[in-house]
Amino acid sequence: MGNTQKEHKHLSITDMSEEDRPREKMLAKGAEALSKAELLGILLGSGNTKQTAVELAGDILDDSDGNLVELGKRTIKELMAYNGVGEAKAITVAAALELGRRRNLEVALEKPQVRGSADIFAIFHPMLADKHTEEFWLLMLNRANRVIGMEQLSNGGVSGTLVDIKLALKKSIDRLADAVVFCHNHPSETLSPSREDDNVTHRLRKAFEAVEIRVLDHVIVAGGKYYSYSDHDRLH
């Protein structure tokens, strides 16, 4: 009796017509010419028995509303739930998204000047928007309010994190900071500060006031929005 088992072929980028292949398109026109689905398709390399890599990438992006920040929240296990995405592909996608996140962080360290809360949000949003747990950060500035360093003070749970005020003071004094900014995220995307946020802000302001370091703001990142204590005149 003959073997009736069907061969299951995964459709790869090479199965596409030459003008539609994202690798060739990237070489000819540059990365900027590619759609998000095409870029993600390059990372995936192949699709499944019914979809090319780019079509599969399109489905994955659609489930994240086409938003890369939302895609960055996906765990490796969640990515592997897609037909044609094994552990290696899921890890490749997660690693690429993490590189993008770190690239944004390194760009932020090129001594930008902080003129207001929007500048603070621009620095921290790329690195905090898709985090599943709260992180509390310290941004240190010189006399011209240009960034001279940043430190993560804590990384806590979903609904809160502890802040070591002595550590924040030491880091700032060691860098000879003239001013500081604090920032943390709300994974719940709740914009309003909590009572604990108010307490921490008050304690930090009093501690830094004692060593004559200005506290310019405490910004809460909540998804694509933010709350500024300074803008709401709540640093006094």
Pairwise pLDDT comparison (5 vs 55), residue with the higher score: 55
Looking at the structure, tell me whether residues 73 and 123 fall in a common domain: no
Which residues span the domain enclosing 63? 13-105
Inform me whether the pLDDT recorded for 227 exceeds 60: yes
Looking at the structure, tell me whether residues 73 and 116 fall in a common domain: no
| Residue 150, in any domain of the structure | yes
Name the pairing type of β-strands 225-228 and 214-222.
antiparallel
Amino acid at site 151: E
| Residue 1, in any domain of the structure | no
| Residue 233, in any domain of the structure | no
Inform me whether the pLDDT recorded for 1 exceeds 50: no
* Count of domains forming the chain: 2
Statement: the pTM of the whole predicted model exceeds 0.85 = no
| Residue 218, in any domain of the structure | yes
Looking at the structure, tell me whether residues 94 and 178 fall in a common domain: no
Q: What is the pLDDT of residue 3?
A: 43
Alpha-carbon distance of 67 to 71, in angstroms, equals 6
Looking at the structure, tell me whether residues 217 and 162 fall in a common domain: yes
Domain boundary among 46, 74, 105: 105
Looking at the structure, tell me whether residues 214 and 123 fall in a common domain: yes
Inform me whether the pLDDT recorded for 5 exceeds 50: no
Looking at the structure, tell me whether residues 139 and 219 fall in a common domain: yes
**3-state SS string over 153-201?**
EEECCCCCCCCCHHHHHHHHHHCCCCEEEEEEECCCCCCCCCHHHHHHH
The whole-number average pLDDT for the span 16-31 is 77
